[in-house]
Structure 1
Amino acid sequence: MSAAPASTSRRVNVRTPEVMERVQAEVETHYRSTLVEAIRAQGSVIQIGETTVRLARDFGFCYGVERAIDLAYAARRVFSDRRVFLLGEIIHNPEVNRQLLEMGIISIPVSQHEEELAKLNSDDVVIVPAFGAETKLMKIIAERGCMIVDTTCGDVMSVWKRVRNYAKTGFTSIIHGKASHEETRATSSRALGDQGNGHYLVVLTLNDVDYVCNYIRNGGDKAAFLERFKGASAYSEGFDPEVHLKQIGVANQTTMLKSETEEIQRRLKQAVEDRDGQGSANFQVFDTICGATQERQDSLFLLLQQPLDVLLVVGGYNSSNTTHLVEIGEQQLPTFFIRTAECLKSLEEIVHFDLHLKAEKTSYSNKLASESPIVVGITAGASCPNNLIEDTLLRVFKLRSISEEQVRAAAGV
């Protein structure tokens, strides 16, 4: 396979009217739920006998996810005679990624990105997922001369703009996120700036932030600092806390827990002001939490104001925004993070992901089996399609001896 000339990649527009009309019909067939839409239209609650299901006001696909999926489907149609590759996963939902694989889109695992991209040529098409991609990967794609279908979310690109500006003005980006997550890796690469001389540090927990804040205020052991954060490329090459914590700007992975990000911003600002004085110009911050993430978190807080016996959160186990919904729910009531309706094995047996063990496990609960009236809450992150919510809702009613026909009749569909 011959090498392509350097820097000849082509960003292509696949959103032509004739293509998108067919694509949107296909996407609706795969992911839409008229049942869920009907329930939402009647106040997001359905009650049959002793069983009530309440849906969060906002859940499921956001605009950025819908756009990414549309573009991936369109790429397969437009380039039906070519190899079409996807960097990792289009979004973090196994059902959606399974559909793309069945359409013949070749997923390149994150661990093999550089190796596999180096084998491509100018006849190949590469889909960049909603999370974006690191600058080094985009450079390889350009060198191979591939055609690019870029589905990067606009909210993610807004964060990139901020961190690039931090680098341009000599500020270090403190990024609240998961250092190994595709989006944070892409953002970190932009934090190096257009000249490659910027710096970043990725923090995940409040303990991480307190450690950084203590160093900002008091200094400390540089070797110990670097050792603490060296995993998963959590800081830029040549990062020196004695130098690069003098001026900092905060950004975040767009799908983080809003309240935690705000607390991180507050603590870092206070640390800089304790060192440099109130109103110091050595601290900058911009709100870069995704609007859809905020809506889904806020909607769950509203749902939790209603009486609920159990909460089901549906989505991919590696979905960051979905994980934070689980964290919110766990603080108030029994909460189960399930991938699909099939995880509800029976009224007592539930297969779910345990955030603390970081593994799937089986739990036995009598919440769904109660002979008394029960109320089940259901929500999902921005990467979960409505058809999976429908499956879950119907499964709950079926286990409670209520047929699909009864549910559809009650919803008026």
Structure 2
Amino acid sequence: MSATPSAPAARRVNVRTPEVMERVQAEVETHYRSTLVEAIRVQGSVIQIGNTTVRLARDFGFCYGVERAIDLAYAARRVFADRRVFLLGEIIHNPEVNRQLTEMGIVSIPVSQHEEELAKLNSDDVVIVPAFGAETKLMKIIAERGCMVVDTTCGDVMSVWKRVRNYAKNDFTSIIHGKASHEETRATSSRALGDQGNGHYLVVLTLSDVDYVCEYIRHGGDKALFLERFKGASALSEGFDPDLHLQRIGVANQTTMLKSETEEIQRRLQKAIEDRDGNDATQKNFQVFDTICGATQERQDSLFLLLQQPLDVLLVVGGYNSSNTTHLVEIGEQQLPTFFIRTAECLTSLEQIVHFDLHLKAEKTSYSTKLAEDGPVTIGITAGASCPNNLIEDTLLRVFQLRGISPDQVRAQVGV
């Protein structure tokens, strides 16, 4: 592949001035903070009224990277009150947060229309890059149009970019554990091409994908079938040749993947290289770095701790397209009835819950008698890094309300 020509630099602007951020943080707190949830966390993350107990995970909700992205988006709207402000897709994967930004006049450009719509912008326009980051080709278009850029890309994501760029520089192919169509993985894949554009990447999602790759590493195989398996959703770099580009590999990941699965993928790929090349050559042909987001790890670890407590039902609150939230659901449903809900409104009644089914990949309605029982019931609640605390409060209050306990009684219990 030929070297990538130097692209014009984006006009990044700093909107984090003290006077702006003071207003922004007050506004963000009004929209998303919950004094009730904060009080319950201080009191051990458990609240019991009568025969109804709710246990909160130790860590859940907004992480630093999400808070920063939201703050910057709010600040951009305030600083550039007289300009058009656009957002590449969604700032984070939470419908409530993105709805708020839309109501503030920030125009979201759907992923499928990024290139087309960016080409229409001009130097008076402001573009917000979401926490997931953006592909290099999009950043080039933005720079060419002369737009001002408010970049909210998470620092953990940029750390992965540094790793995959280094892989390309040293002639390693990046094997990326992630969802090939996810905005973050697309952005990471574009960096895996390297500064000269001559790098390569392969995106794997499942352990089945990895086992297929490992078998090819060990024994070779049908190149056409390999390329056919991974050709969809930009899972392969242009010109990828498994006979050439699986000789030296470096593993990276979408930062919000299930930690245990990423570690297993790393182990299996390393073993395949060892089997092919021998132990002495493994270090020469295999590299790996831990690039799972710290907040993602904390929320997964906290859920494992919560699941050590006796629970009857687990509610996981968040956007259905949130990767880190999805993995919390996967963990929970291994042990007990788990419902992935978008908001408290999904709790239609004690028996009826509207939730997202990961296996059907669709929202559905389920019926459970557990919450309707007269005896003691314990409900666990957690959320991913993109879910604001006010949605946790709404869910907690709805659970108690359905059990005949008013919001005033709940607030009085914890003194808020």
Instruction: Please indicate the TM-score interval, normalised by the length of the shorter structure.
Output: over 0.9
Q: Deviations over 1:168-214 (max 9, x none)?
A: 00000000000000000000000000000000000000000000000
Query: In 1, Cα distance between the equivalents of 2:9 and 2:63?
Result: 33
3-state SS of paired residue (2:371): coil
Q: Separation in 1 of the partners of 2:250 and 2:155?
A: 20
User: Quick one: distance in 1 between partners of 2:9 and 2:136?
Assistant: 15
- Residue 149 of structure 1 deviates from its aligned partner by 0.1
Contact 1:4 1:121 in 2 (8 A): no
C-alpha distance in 2, partners of 1:193/1:240?
Answer: 17
Shift of 1:367: 1.4
**Cα distance in 2, alignment partners of residues 53 and 361 from structure 1:** 24
Q: 1:2 to 1:247 in 2, by over 3 A?
A: closer
Are 2:200 and 2:245, in contact at CA under 8 Å, matched by a contact in 1?
yes
Question: Once the two structures are superposed, what CA deviation does each residue of 1:118-144 show, in whole Å capped at 9, x if it has no partner?
Answer: 000000000000000000000000000
Q: Does the CA-based 8 Å contact 2:10-2:140 persist in structure 1?
A: no
Structure 2: gaps spanning 5 or more residues: none
**Which is further off, 292-301 or 9-18?**
9-18
Q: Distance in 2 between matches of 1:53 and 1:257?
A: 25
Contact 2:2–2:198 under 8 Å retained in 1: no
In the alignment, the residues of structure 2 paired with residue 392 and residue 2 of structure 1 have an alpha-carbon distance, to the nearest angstrom, of 54
| 2:296 corresponding residue in structure 1 | 293
What is the deviation of 1:7? 2.9
Instruction: State the alpha-carbon separation in 1 of the partners of residues 318 and 3 from structure 2.
Output: 40
Looking at structure 1, the residues matched to 99 and 351 of structure 2 have their Cα atoms a distance apart, in angstroms, of 29
- Judged with a 3 Å threshold, the aligned counterparts in structure 2 of structure 1 residues 362 and 337 are, in CA distance, closer, same or farther, namely same
Measured after TM superposition, the shift of residue 411 of structure 1 is 1.0
Report the Cα distance in structure 1 between the residues aligned to 2:167 and 2:413, rounded to whole angstroms.
54
What displacement does 1:3 show? 26
2: CA distance, partners of 1:336 / 1:22: 36
Change (3 A) 1:405 1:203: same
User: CA separation in 1, counterparts of 2:333 and 2:379?
Assistant: 14
Q: In structure 1, what is the equivalent of residue 82 of structure 2?
A: 81
Identity of aligned pairs, percent? Answer: 90
Alpha-carbon deviations, 1:341-381, whole Å to 9, x = none?
00000000000000000000000001111111000000000
Rounded to whole Å, the distance in 2 between the matches of 1:395 and 1:2 is 58
Say yes or no: does 1:2 pair with 2:2. yes
- The RMSD of aligned alpha carbons is 2.9
For 2:3 and 2:60, locate their aligned partners in 1 and report how far apart those are by CA, in whole Å.
Answer: 45
Contact 2:167 2:192 in 1 (8 A): yes
Normalised TM-score (structure 2)? 0.97
Q: In 2, are the aligned partners of 1:11 and 1:148 still within 8 Å (CA)?
A: yes
8 A contact 2:311–2:379 mirrored in 1:
yes
Q: Is the 8 A contact 1:125 1:148 kept in 2?
A: yes
Asked if the contact 1:9/1:144 (under 8 Å) is kept, the reply is no
How many Å apart are 1:392 and its aligned residue? 0.0
Aligned-pair CA distance for 1:4: 21
- Secondary structure (helix, strand or coil) at the match of 1:235 reads coil
Question: 2-side partners of 1:411 and 1:201: how far apart?
Answer: 51
Deviations 1:306-357 (A, max 9, x none): 0000000000000000000000000000000000000000000000000000
CA distance in 1 between counterparts of 2:48 and 2:162 reads: 47
The reply on whether 1:284 has 2:284 as its aligned counterpart is no
The verdict on how the C-alpha distance between 1:4 and 1:326 changes in structure 2, with shifts beyond 3 A counting, is closer
Following superposition, the deviation at residue 8 of structure 1 comes to 6.2
Q: Distance in 2 between matches of 1:291 and 1:35?
A: 26
Query: Contact between 1:50 and 1:372, CA under 8 Å: does it hold in 2?
Result: yes
Q: Tell me how far 1:239 sits from its aligned partner.
A: 0.2
User: CA–CA distance in 2 between the matches of 1:344 and 1:151?
Assistant: 33
State the 1:281 CA deviation: 1.6
Say whether the 8 Å CA contact 2:355–2:364 is kept in structure 1: yes
Distance across 1 between alignment mates of 2:101 and 2:2: 28
Aligned residues: 411
- Relative distance call for 1:179 and 1:150 in structure 2 (3 A) is same
Q: Distance in 1 between matches of 2:3 and 2:92?
A: 30
Maintained 8 Å contact 1:101/1:107: yes
Aligned residue among 400, 408, 412 for 1:409: 412
* Partner SS, residue 202 of structure 2: strand
1:50 Cα offset (Å): 0.4
The residue matched to 2:141 in structure 1 has which SS? helix
* Aligned-pair CA distance for 1:224: 0.3
Cα deviation per residue 1:242-285 (whole Å; 9 max; x = unaligned)? 000000000000000000000000000000000001xx420000
What SS does the corresponding residue of 1:368 show, helix, strand or coil?
helix
CA contact (8 A) 1:7 1:145 kept: no
Alpha carbons 1:293, 1:382 under 8 Å: kept: yes
1:9 CA drift (Å): 3.5
The SS at the match of 2:102 is helix
Q: CA–CA distance in 2 between the matches of 1:346 and 1:141? A: 48
Q: Distance in 2 between matches of 1:3 and 1:134?
A: 17
Q: Distance in 1 between matches of 2:364 and 2:319?
A: 15
Match of 2:330 in 1: 327
Query: Per the alignment, do residues 305 and 147 of structure 1 end up closer, same or farther by CA in structure 2, a change over 3 Å counting?
Result: same
